[in-house]
Structure 1
């Protein structure tokens, strides 16, 4: 049943790791959640709606936004969590690498954010969050990452532009730039990865969730990139 006064969060890349943690966190806040990824399974929770698809395909964004408004009547928060990282020396990136990263990191952000902001404007407000990487601000000679910087750095700039464009209309826009987080991509405690952070450890999914929830409730904060990276963005 559509109860449009209950808040709704849309989360991309939501089948595991950070995305799955965010789904659980927003449910604990009392939000209904619309979650998407290429492999996501139907939930047992009636207040979670899953939409399977590749966010790099604009048709997935269309289905996602339609599902959110038809099932739950609104979109209050969009978390652009889906992301692809391929670390290679710049001259070794292939055309396929480029297209894959642009597809997920930029095209995947663009259409769903347009649709979510349109709905937020109809409602009178909302919040958009981009998940980025600290490598966009603090390059590393040991981690070649030009395509991550190109795409995620672009998202951080877009975050600020959205914040200013829609500040007077009740829509906030923020980003969270991550260090290396223990997820299915990095499942164990790796001493070499831990040493890349001045705090001496890898991040946890809970660290990211705490940051996003802070931004969710920080009504006077917009246009910021919050670094959740164990101090990496400050340098070594």
Structure 2
């Protein structure tokens, strides 16, 4: 059971990249964490619950929220980080790829956010942060990404809608919109080429996204915000 002052944070897509960095950051703050992904390892830390599963499946999301409430007594913040990115010409996407991206990027958020917000309503407080993509606002011809815009763009729209719906219930909803970040999603051999697509001339680090998420989490007067962390990508070229 968490103490009264110990925040409880749920993080999806938590086994590597931005998600793993978020887990480490919140644990370093002394907060309890419920972390989930398909491949996440078991935890020996009493203040870190790991749930292995496919977030596109409703049962996984239900297990994640239930585990957090049972162990720690509450959920304060949900960070919906799980996502799939596939750069393909639009006509080359397969039906399976479409179903997978919709399942993880959109359905995964729905399955996790619905019970989390339902729980937050009982407490009259809470915060939801979605991780989207700057490609939603600024397409790049060298990075065809229509399904990313379709799914992550949906999350950005939902962020604003949910922020207004729950503003008077003590629940805030924000999004962080990353540019091109050094994660396993971007192979090392592509870093030089990818850096050339960014106005500041370099890729971002997972810590840049962590800083943005924690800033929003620490800012009680911000809701409905889409915070771009992309080296100027969304501003133009």
Relative to the length of structure 1, the TM-score reads 0.97
> Could you tell me which residue of structure 1 aligns to residue 207 of structure 2?
206
* 8 Å CA contact retained: 2:56, 2:111: no
Q: Give the total of aligned pairs.
A: 236
Paired residue secondary structure (1:176): strand
SS in 2 for 1:190: helix
Residues 4, 73 of structure 1: 8 Å contact kept: no
> What is the 5 A alignment of 1:161-172?
161-172=161-172
Q: Structure 1 residues 150-159 or 43-52, which shifts more?
A: 43-52
2:215 pairs with 1:234? no
5 Å matches for 1:125-144?
A: 125-144=125-144
- Provide the rounded CA distance (Å) in 1 between the counterparts of 2:91 and 2:65: 38
Aligned residue for 1:219? 220
1:121 match: 121
- Once the two structures are overlaid, the 10-residue window that deviates more, 23-32 or 8-17, is 23-32
In the alignment, what sits opposite 2:193?
A: 192
Give 5+ residue unaligned stretches, structure 2: none
Name the SS for the 2:166 alignment partner: helix
Judge conservation of contact 2:86–2:148 (CA < 8 Å) in 1: yes
**How far apart, in 2, do the equivalents of 1:13 and 1:71 lie?**
20
Larger mean CA deviation between 24-33 and 11-20 belongs to: 24-33
Match of 1:46 in 2: 46
Report the TM-score, using the length of structure 2 for normalisation.
0.97
Report the Cα distance in structure 2 between the residues aligned to 1:101 and 1:185, rounded to whole angstroms: 14
Assess if the C-alpha contact under 8 Å between 2:14 and 2:40 holds in 1. Answer: yes
Residue 180 (structure 1) aligns with:
180
Q: Which residue of 2 aligns with 1:22?
A: 22
- Residues 4 and 74, structure 1, Cα contact 8 Å, conserved in 2: no
Does structure 1 residue 80 correspond to structure 2 residue 80?
yes
**Contact 2:54–2:60 (Cα < 8 Å) also in 1:** yes
Q: CA separation in 2, counterparts of 1:53 and 1:136? A: 27
Provide the rounded CA distance (Å) in 2 between the counterparts of 1:165 and 1:171. Answer: 9
Q: Is the 8 A contact 1:4 1:72 kept in 2?
A: no
Q: Kindly provide the CA deviation profile for residues 161-188 of structure 1, in whole angstroms up to 9, marking residues without a partner as x.
A: 0100001111100001111100122253
- Structure 1 gaps of 5+ residues are none
Contact 2:2 2:32 in 1 (8 A): no
